[in-house]
Structure formats: C-alpha cells, structure tokens
Structure 1
C-alpha cells in the first residue's frame, strides 16, 4: 500500500469541475428527500464511472481509519485520566473526511467541538489535538501554516465567522474558501440563518456543512423540527442546498469538491447536509441510554462509513487484508508517537489561561494576570 500523508487528499488531487460544468449545480439535489449516494452500504457502486480515482479512494479510507483510531483511543485515555471530556464522532467519519478532504491548507476550517476528525484530516497535528482536549495551553492555538479555528463550543457562532473569513479572502483576491460545520440542532439557531443570508447576499466563497447526525444532545431531529430535508433551508436564502449520504465518503467528497470549485469560481456559497448518525454518546461523560432506545440506533451500525468503503476497496483490489493490517499498524504507531509527545508538554501555569485571548493583552487582562500571579505567590 502506498503511504499517504494526512493532507494528501485535497481538492487539487482531482480535476475540479469547470465553471461551465457547474452551471446546473447542484446536480445532486433530487426532487425527493433521498440523500445522494455513490456507494451502497454493502460497498457496491451502481455507477462505477462516477467514482473518484482509486488513489483518492484509498486516501479517504486512510483518513477515516486514522480518525476512528483517534476516537477509540480518546475513550481509553479519558477513562484512564489522560484526556478531558471529549465529544466522540464514531460513525461520522465519512461526513468529516469527505468534506474536509476537499480543502487545501490555504482554506479556512471552522469546526464544532465534534469535528476533531475534520481538523485532523486537514492537517492538525495529533499531539496538539490531544493537548487541546487536555485543556493544555499547547493546544489553545493552531499552527501558523493551518487556518483551523479552535473547536467551537457555542452552537452556530462559527457560521457568521466563516462568512467573514470567506469575504476577507474574496476581497484579497484569492481563490481560498471557508468551510464551517454545524449539527442539525444548530440549524435552528439564529446564527445559522443570518450566516446563510449574509453569505448569499454577498456571494461569499463559503461552504456550510450541516451534519445531520440525528441528535441535538438528547433531542432527536424529529422533535426539534418538522423539516425532513434540512438542505432545503438554503432555498430561503437563494443559495444551492445539497443532501448527501454522510456515511458514503465518496459521495460526500464528490459534492463537496463541486461546491468548493463553485466557490473558487466566484459562484458563491453552498449548504451541504450530510445525513449521518451519532453512534456514540454526546460526550464521553454522557449516558445516551437515558434518552434513546435500541430502536433509535437500529440499522446504523450496518451503515458504518469505514466498513462500506473497506468492502468496496477489497472487492476492487485497491486494498488487501495485508495492506489494511499494515495501514492500521502504521496509524497506531503514529498515534502513540504523538501521545508520547503530548505527554512531554509541561503542566499549565494558572496565568497561562490569559495568554491566548488577544494578540495584544488588554489593560483588563494585564491586571487579571497580575492578580493571578499574586494569588499563586509568583
């Protein structure tokens, strides 16, 4: 198997659609509410000619395996006191990889607290990510060569911020875009609607990812809205909306690549609803059995995005059992090396909590820092 780096899959890896080809965008917005799909849950492809290059398929698989390993190890680290409260994303790998892999390191990424996988896909180092979820200052700021914002905890506030970043790139004359994530519950927040209207009115090169994972903490989607196709909310703001099977990484990647190409060509924003499912708890400290039943989760394990693509790759000869085992070994070794690095970071000092609030500290922060230092006797 060819070793691929975490950032190998990007929009530049495949021929981007030309502006003329995007004239009828979105081509994947069916009259029904059935999400667009390229791979069936059993890994078969009804239309093989529509699939991306084998190397891209393999790279997307590697990304999903890599972030699934992070998610699984995150649970173990939390239970052994080596990681803070962490929002797992198992089952959503297709949605996060399929969208983030369509970007380059010159683009902006605005993740929610559950989008660790998307940030890792774009290139956020594992050690720094672990530091973030340990509440260590070493994870409070992002690498200078990567336009990833810290994980947003408030709901939907990142959407207007992403529009601002997209408009800044537009005014600078670049082809860079901004991508922001949200959950289905966040689509009921005012920031969601304001951002879509803002982006549509000003033709911002922004891609809005709405991950419909079935739950807003303990509230099912069917309770918080009567809407079935959340992508249709884009219609109210005059922008395209696409509904895709978020557990089909190839379909998700395809529609996102087209939306990114459209934004780079000056044709404005797109809303992409990825239909997926939050298999695990809201956070590692949550007990989902208190609010959902086995009937709620029935059938979703069989739609696992990693299993789906793995079956396809094995059937096509792009992956073998041996190369898959080698890949998993490589990923595990990478994670353990990053964990060892994170373990070397010193414990934070109390006053460091103020160091990354503003580039230049305000008079209030200076006074607060002095007060903290007096209290701890430094």
Structure 2
C-alpha cells in the first residue's frame, strides 16, 4: 500500500470528467507544440542558414509573454474564464492552421513565419494564466497537487518524445505535416475547454494598470507567495546550468556531442521519475517545506555536477537536479493555488508564468557571462551555492512556508 501511494496520483482523472477531458486535450496540444517548434527551427535555418535568425525564434516567443503576461492575468480576473480560455485556444487553432497552410501555398518568408510564431505566443501568454486558474475549480483541495503533477508529466513526456518524432516527420514529409498535426492537436484542446463549466469571478479586477498593480501588491505583501516566487528566481537566475553545458562538455568530457545531448536528457529523465513517484510528496501536508527541500536539492545537485569526474556521475547528478526541480515546481504551484484568492488567481499565476519562463533565460545569460569572465566551474558552483543560501534565507524568514498547507482559498 505504501509503495502504491508513492506513485503518481491518478485520482484527479477519476474524480473529475471535465479535468480528464481537459488534460487529454492538453497532452495532445503540448505534443503538437513540440512538433511545431522543431519544424519552425528547421524551416528558419533552412531558409536563412543563420544562427541569429534561429535565435530570433526564441525572441518571438519571449516578447509576447513578457509584454502581455500581466495584462492577460488581469483580463483573466475580469472576464468569465471559460469564455476567455476558449478565445485563447481558438486563436491558437487559427494560427496553427495558417502555418499548416504552407502544405498548400508553400513556405512563407521567414519574417512572416516569425510573425505567426509571435501571434501563437501571444495567445499562449494569455492562455497560460487562465489554464492555471481552472484546476482549483475542477478538483478538491486534496487532489490539487495531483492535478498539477499530471499536467507536469504531460509536458515532460512531450519534451522527451516530441522533438525526436518531429525531426523524423520533417525528414519524411516536411514541416507542413508537423504544423498540421499541431493544428489538429489544438482542436483536441478546444474540445477539452468546451467541456468546462462557466467560471465567473465574484470580485472583478480593476481595468488596466490598476488591476495589474493590485495583483503585484498582493504578491509583494503576501509572504508565502513572495517567498515561493523568490525561491524560483533563486533556482533559475542563480543556478540555471544549460548555457554552460557546451563549455563544460568541451573542457571536461572531450566535446563529445552525445554527452552534450544526454545532459538535457538526464534532467528530463529525473523530472519524469519524480513525477511518476510524485505521490511520495504531493500527499505531504507541508508543500512549502517540500518546495524548499526541492530547491535546495536542485542547488546541491548542480554543485555536485560542477565537480563531476566522469560523464556518468554528471548524468546522475543532473537526473537528481531534474527530480528536485519537478518537486519544487509542483509544490510551488500548489502553494500559489492554495494561498491566492480566486479573484486574484489570474494575475498571480501570470506572475508565476513570467518568472518561470524568463528566469531560466536570465540565468543562462548570467552563467554565460560569468563563465566568460571567470571559469565555467566558478560560474556553475557559485550560482548553485548562492541558490542554496537564498533558499535557506527564504525558509528562515518565511514561517508560512514551514507550516501546514494553510487556509482554504475562497473559490467563486
């Protein structure tokens, strides 16, 4: 019985048909998105042979998220959420359909393609916060963490399988087929959203910048929320290792491309393993303590990776880091959901989305610059140890993160 309880909790899928259908649609759309990403990267490189242009793909995705994220969060707290969700997913269906149109009209210029990527990212930036507000209204409090883990493992599974399959499809049938599969997968997501109940907000957010300011004020003035986001920033901005992988591989492991590829795979494998065994931590009564432990484990594992003498030791420590990251991410999302009033949930989850996606980019930039000025070992080890120190400081100064799950959030 105890061993079974350590496995991922599937009860959310059994308890809520609406969540089950929504989750299935998200699994398919996330997988389709990975195929489309590979196709975009291949098409941009094929048309330009320029690393600057392939880098611009990331910029096209990041700018809408940063610019629109907080405004989208405020809109989620103003309007009926199911309708808002339908608009965002429908927009993604339309954009992916336009990209799939290249099967008929042929490849579009790279500028047009990046414009479509930016439009897709804009709808995703708006859809992210509203997707995070849905779970508390579909699942009881005790199943919330399990639902978050199920969403997490869907993303991880797509990351493991999607890019490789996308490469095979591009090689066999071209980029257009990837875009077509992506469009069909969003239709599955749309079907899932159509099954949701109406979700009205009792206390409507103030319009424009005032509503955003209200959300940010809540984040700053609520110690548990503030501490959770600072912990995430410490883990990503201070200790993100990805930009250092190529130089560490070159200096320590003979610049073998197979080793470099396995670095990221090891992190993903650790994350999937933690998700499969997530019952061991999602059922615990103190998600704040679990989050702090996970973030600390992330820093310690990366510090050990920095001094790894062999590739296999490096893979092992990166797998531990991936597991710790999943534990931290799931627990942090659970804390934010449980401690945020329903009328503020869109804005708070928008802040979480921005921190979760912009933090790693800043962390990779920090690591690269510091490695250039000092050494890769100093850049990685110092960041990992600073991460542990900041997490310890947050835990020591935020009693709410060390207590039990906290008060019930009012659900409209």
Pairwise TM-score range, normalised by the shorter structure:
under 0.3
TM-score (norm 1): 0.25
TM-score (norm 2): 0.23
Which structure has more helix as a fraction of its residues?
2
Higher RCO structure, 1 or 2 (CA under 8 Å, sep 6+): 2
Which structure has more strand as a fraction of its residues?
1
